Structure 1
Amino acid sequence: MTKVYDQTTTGLLLVDPYNDFLSEEGKLYPRTKEVSESVNMIKHLKETVEAARKAGIRVFYVPHHRSELTDFDSWLHPTPYQLKAKQGQVFAKDSWGGEFHPDFQPQQGDVIIKEHWGSSGFANTDLDHQLKMHGLQKIIVVGMLANTCIEATARFGMELGYNVTLVKDATSAFTKEALHAAHEINGPTFAHAILTTEELLAKL
């Protein structure tokens, strides 16, 4: 039987696995805590990454820009969201919060994509080029946050011609409403599959 996902066709996009998101002491963890725990997000994210590695599926780290104090000083159109991140120094450069969570450290063979400034991991980065150079046509998108960087990256991926899978319990959001919208309202307009971790692992 042909596998739905395998190393010749599929890449796993691990979006923003920073301490500020995933560690209890992280700056944004308190805002995602309720939702993350309701879906057992850390456990499912670990299971997804581990299963992908075991299946030989390459992991692509898709990191957000690490904040610096001079960010956006000369920009014409920074968004309120970007300015708020700058003010709070979320994922600050050279800080603990801007490091990858201990459970999600890069391994040999992983690809670290250039940092994205907004929400999409494709916009103004090398993600599309890296996927194409590795001959991949399918992307499984996991990490943070469901209704911002996950949705924007996955939607952009679909527009570029990739087959897109979302994993609804290997991500989180600031509110249950945002998580619901990402998977039940917006996701079906662009994703080819929206699965639970259990369903995904069965297909690997």
Structure 2
Amino acid sequence: MSNAPYPLNRTAYLLVDPYNDFLSENGKVFPLIKPIAEQVGLLDNLRALDRAVRAQNIPVIIVPHHRWEHGDYEGWDHPTPTQCKIMHMHHFARGEWGGEWHPDFAPKDGDIVVQEHWGASGFANTDLDFRLKQKGITHVIIVGLLANTCIEATARYASELGYHVTLVRDATAAFRAEMMHAAHELNGPTFAHSIVTTQELIEALAQQE
């Protein structure tokens, strides 16, 4: 699943949840993913991919989780376990350092920042599909956090909408190795068109020149 062609004028790079809380040393969530993030080289791989896709003029789409604000999720009929955790831990709080972009992955001029997603999918209740269609995108490369939650949910939704989906197994992380295994070895192959490493993707993109 590593030799898929990428039409550069119809491919977009979706970076999910590049917040300090996820990617920075003092983030609230980073300590939970740090062992796997370091094992796969997450930050260096995201930096390498950022350089590669920008060199090819592939659109960069930031797909952010909803930033917690006072009162969020309170009184909801059935918030998910993750939403309950965010409500109590104030992950990605708006106006706080943890809810700001990691400095290496902050949006640059020309990037698109779509509406924040409340659940796991970057498509549900946001403008992501609309923005991609307006640019004629048919292929999406999805990276960021977490492999078995927002990445998987966004990628599944993308495949349901008819996009060609690429997952990058070492440009994401999770809380446990079992979650990474499930995301890339068990679940991913049922919906993703391509599951590659960072190096394989960079080489595939270079071949499209």
TM norm structure 1: 0.97
Q: Tell me, in whole angstroms, the C-alpha distance in 2 between the residues paired with 1:81 and 1:197.
A: 28
Tell me the amino acid that sits aligned with residue 187 of structure 2: N
Match of 2:168 in 1: 167
Amino acid at match of 2:10: T
Show the counterpart of 1:178.
Answer: 179
C-alpha contact 1:6 1:57 (8 A) present in aligned 2: no
CA shift for structure 1 position 163: 0.1
Q: Do residues 65 (structure 1) and 74 (structure 2) align?
A: no
Deviates more, 1:96-105 or 1:78-87: 78-87
Matches of 1:85 and 1:72 in 2, distance apart? 9
Q: Secondary structure at the match of 1:11?
A: strand
Please give the alpha-carbon distance, in whole angstroms, between the structure 2 residues aligned to 1:157 and 1:76. 27
**Alpha-carbon offset, residue 80 of structure 1:** 2.0
**C-alpha distance in 2 between matches for 1:33 and 1:159:** 31
Provide structure 1 residue ranges, at least 5 long, that are not aligned to the other structure: none
Secondary structure, aligned partner of 1:73: coil
Q: Does 1:52 align with 2:53?
A: yes
- Identical positions, percent: 56
- Unmatched 5+ stretches in structure 2: none
Q: CA RMSD in A?
A: 1.0
Aligned partner of 2:58: which letter? I
- Runs of 4+ aligned structure 1 residues displaced above 6 Å come to none
Equivalenced residue count is 202
SS state at 1:118 partner: coil
Task: Give the CA deviation at 1:59.
Answer: 0.3
Give the match's secondary structure for 1:194.
strand
Deviation per CA, 1:117-176, whole angstroms, max 9, x where unpaired?
Answer: 000000000000000000000000000000000000000000000000000000000011
1:14 paired to 2:15: yes
Please say if 1:91 is aligned against 2:92: yes
| Superposed CA offset, 1:16-57 (max 9, x none) | 000000000000011001000000110001111110011010
Contact 1:7–1:58 (CA under 8 A) maintained in structure 2: no
Q: 2:115 corresponds to which residue?
A: 114
Measure the CA separation in 1 of the matches of 2:83 and 2:131. Answer: 26
CA distance in 2 between partners of 1:31 and 1:73 (Å): 25
- Provide the residue aligned with 1:31 in structure 2: 32
Report the CA distance between 1:83 and its aligned residue: 1.1
Question: 2:109 aligns to what SS in structure 1?
Answer: coil
2:154 alignment counterpart: 153
Amino acid paired to 1:141: I
